[in-house]
Structure 1
Amino acid sequence: MNEFEPLLPDDEHNRKLVGHVHPSDWTNPQPDRPYHLVVIGAGTAGLVTAAAAAGLGARVALIERQLMGGDCLNVGCVPSKAIIRSARLAADLRSASDFGITLTQLPFVDFPAVMERMRRLRAEISPHDSAARFQELGVDVFFGSASFADGDRVSVDSPHGSRTLEYRKAVVATGARAAAPPIPGLDSVHYLTNETVFSLTGLPRRLGVIGSGPVGCEMAQALSQLGSEVVLFDRGDRILSKEDPEAAQVVAEQFSRDGIQLVLNSKLLKISETSEGFSITYSQGNEEHELLVDQLLVAAGRAPNVDELNLESVGVDYDSNGISVNDHLQTSNPRIFAAGDVCSRYKFTHLADFQARIVLQNALFSIGPFGRKKMSQLVIPWCTYTSPEVAHVGLFEHEAARRGIQVDVYKQDLAGVDRAILEGETQGFVKILTKRDSDRIVGATIVAAHAGEMISEITVAMNGGIGLSKIAGAIHPYPTQAEAIRKIGDQYNRTRLTPFSQRLLNLLRRINVGR
């Protein structure tokens, strides 16, 4: 893919976006000396690396063949959360009577307006990732396809000509793309992915979604709340297979209430496109079924963007999972590093940001083994933005068992938290794992309306070595749903009460009462 692929629809908002992140009148610089750092890919990892390195005085080149901002800005975090916000509002309005509010008519979802709002907001955010901004930061920005020419040069090919960049160190941050599962007929139909679903201007009446990971679940629920009839397929026995099983069950129950049809333990046998839509033939157990939908969204995995980079010529190892890196994010070529989705099993924007910081220090400032930052030092939280949200950090119970780590498990249901009751958001919980007979937190899962906000308290605690006993001693505003975390601290403190201390407390209570 050597030429830029335009965003659809061609409206003022997308033209504004492209004007910032792939301007048509851009002229690639003419390099006259080697760069300290050449960064390939202008997604989160590449942008953070380039900006920080230039800010420290390094000569930096940044190469992007499509849109600066990568998936997050263009086809990921930003557009999806804009649509989710509209979908949640539509769902809230439908349940207004639960809160004593009577609507004179059911809310009307203007789907084209929802999508236009998304495109407008995306365009408003785009200057932060723009070519002009990074040029002002001192970064030489190149648009075109990059490939390694030899051990110290990268070629950039564009429709307007070629450039050869010499480098001392290089960073590959080319990200990943949607992967298609091997389903008969899928390669011959025009299905949606995360890269094309945000170009929709009409709401699909019937939507099929293949894959129940974060992207599949978020989009399935959002489009259902906006009015689509949604069928979600997965070959596994539950949705969100990488999350805590109890958390996934809470979300699955909400999906059922939302009217989403879950087709689990299913095998997709054939997909074909007809004049009436997409015909999906699948089996469950010994029974075979056929279903017709108007649009099909495939959200069943990611593939690293390593094609055409000519990594073999510079001795960089990679496979179907991405570029191989060590704990310092260094590839098999010590002069070349990688960061972000192209090399990480955790494909999160916030992790790509912190990986870029590791690369920056290790590529520009490390001498031998000293002062080298490690991936394994990071405490990595994440969140899936369904309703309710599911957030996690650290170990799951099954991971702790597999590693031979004995843990204590503390859980607080939101049904026992006043603010959750008042908000009508009692479907969820906070679960915290500590090392056995200790208050040291080793993992946590939160299922709540704003779990993504709440998980940060636990992440900070884990980073700072703050245990449950200190969390219990920290005053939390009342009423908030985060009080569930403090309540778990109280649970831990109660386990510390020995029979002697309990007798002592009872004695003191009787003495005080006697006064």
Structure 2
Amino acid sequence: MIPERYDAIVVGSGQGGTPLCRALAEAGMRTALVERVHVGGTCINEGCTPTKTMVASARVAYLARRGADYGVQTGSVSVDLKRVRERKRAIVDKFRNGGQARLEKTENLDLIFGTASFTGTKTLMVRVKDGERLLSAERIFINAGTRAAVPPLEGLNSVPFLDNASIMELESVPEHLVILGGGYIGLEFGQMFRRFGSRVTIVHRGEQLLAREDADVAEEVAKILREDGVEVLLSVKTERVSCAGERIRVEVRDGSQGRTIEGSHLLVAIGRTPNSDTLN
């Protein structure tokens, strides 16, 4: 197969790849942008944009329930998660489609949807919908992004656990959401779903939430979550998970004490794994 030659190839249309490929093309370089699924990367499709949209809905629910504190009587408050999801999807589509349209109008730039892998130091094979394309360039930029990390936890493959993307596609508010991980992702969804009306338990193996933050900052964050009604468990190791009928059992250990937490849903939010491992 004779390779299609470019001056530059960018793999991944995230927050780095999209402006980079446009800058290269506008500088006169024939450029290819290879994107596996959606233009915009994690931020627009599964990260910043959709989560902040849902956080805004959760805040409205939170304020509505506190209406009486401000002298405003609102009555019973319920959350239609399907409608929250519909609003989230509409905003994501608007951002994504706008970004894609701008890329498609950029001269010297080819937007290629497919999965890329290296076949040499300067060549990429791209699996596209109707076959394969071989691309080559002197300059290849990797902006492949990340995906949710899955820990080697006993029983995890046998339970229907959620990650940062699938939890935003739920149709109803979980009765009891158990979250593994006390980083930014776990805390954001923890507070969000607590405000939607879920009982929430966060299980974190570290001594403090947000391991990279100062201890006093992490302590204040934990205080805020607990004031919201979130159960925060620190220095707790998760040993195994299993199904108990339609519920999920999470067995943890706090020092020498064992405990079983039973929830309706399980979110695994222990970190991210680079997608560069798929590039061969």
Normalised to the residue count of structure 2, the TM-score between the two structures is: 0.94
Q: Which residue of 2 aligns with 1:133?
A: 102
Change beyond 3 A, Cα 1:104–1:177: closer
Shift of 1:276: 2.5
Deviation at 1:187, TM superposition (A): 2.5
2:239 maps to 1:269:
yes
Deviation, 1:246, is 1.5
Instruction: State the match for 2:204 in structure 1.
Output: 234
Contact 2:68 2:74 in 1 (8 A): no
Partner of 1:80: 51
Shift of 1:74: 1.0
Measure, in 2, the Cα distance between the counterparts of 1:194 and 1:208: 13
CA deviation after TM superposition for structure 1 residue 133, in Å = 2.7
Selected match of 1:91 from 59, 62, 67? 62
| Deviation of the 1:309 alpha carbon | 1.4
Q: Which secondary structure does the structure 2 equivalent of 1:34 belong to?
A: strand
Instruction: Deviation per CA, 1:223-265: give whole Å up to 9, x if none.
Output: 1001000000000122112112212111111111111011111
Give the one of 102, 107, 120 matched to 1:150: 120
* Cα contact 2:191–2:225 (8 A) shared by 1: yes
After superposition, the Cα gap between the structure-2 partners of 1:32 and 1:183, relative to the gap in structure 1 and judged at 3 Å, is: closer
Unaligned stretches of 5+ residues in structure 1: 1-30, 311-515
Report whether the alignment pairs 1:174 with 2:144.
yes
Is the 2:3–2:136 Cα contact (8 Å) retained in structure 1? no
In the other structure, the counterpart of 2:184 is 214
Match of 1:54 in 2: 25
Aligned-partner SS, 1:230: strand
Q: What's the Cα RMSD here?
A: 1.6
Q: Deviation at 1:290?
A: 0.9
Q: TM-score, normalised by structure 1?
A: 0.52
Alignment partner, residue 326 of structure 1? none
Cα gap change, 1:74/1:104 in structure 2, threshold over 3 Å: closer, same or farther? closer
Rounded to whole Å, the distance in 1 between the matches of 2:178 and 2:91 is: 27
Once the two structures are TM-superposed, the CA of residue 170 in structure 1 deviates from its matched residue by: 0.5
Distance apart, 1:32 and its partner CA? 8.2
Determine which of 91, 95, 98 is the counterpart of 1:121: 91
Work out the CA distance in 1 between the residues paired with 2:39 and 2:4.
24
Q: What is the CA deviation profile of residues 182-225 of structure 1, one whole-angstrom value per residue up to 9, with x for unaligned ones?
A: 22111222211112111111111110001010000000000100
Return the structure number with greater relative CO, CA threshold 8 A, min gap 6: 2
What is the aligned partner in structure 2 of residue 304 from structure 1? Answer: 274
Q: 1:20 — aligned with what?
A: none
Contact 2:236-2:254 within 8 A present in 1 as well: yes
Question: 2:16 is paired with a residue of what secondary structure?
Answer: helix
Q: CA, structure 1 residues 288+141, in 2 after alignment: closer, same or farther (shift >3 Å)?
A: same
Deviation at 1:274, TM superposition (A): 2.9
Give the match for residue 193 of structure 1: 163
Is contact 1:34-1:168 (8 Å) kept?
A: no
Q: Which residue of 2 aligns with 1:17?
A: none
Q: Which runs of 5+ in 2 are unaligned?
A: none
Aligned to 1:71: 42
Shift of the alpha carbon at 1:33? 5.6
> Share of identical aligned residues, percent?
34
Shift of 1:129: 2.3
Cα distance in 2 between the residues matched to 1:83 and 1:45: 24
**More strand per residue: 1 or 2?**
2
* Number of residue-to-residue matches in the alignment: 278
**C-alpha distance in structure 1 between counterparts of 2:180 and 2:57, whole Å:** 23
SS of 2:278 mapped into structure 1: coil
Task: Find the aligned partners of 2:168 and 2:62 in 1 and give their Cα distance.
Answer: 20
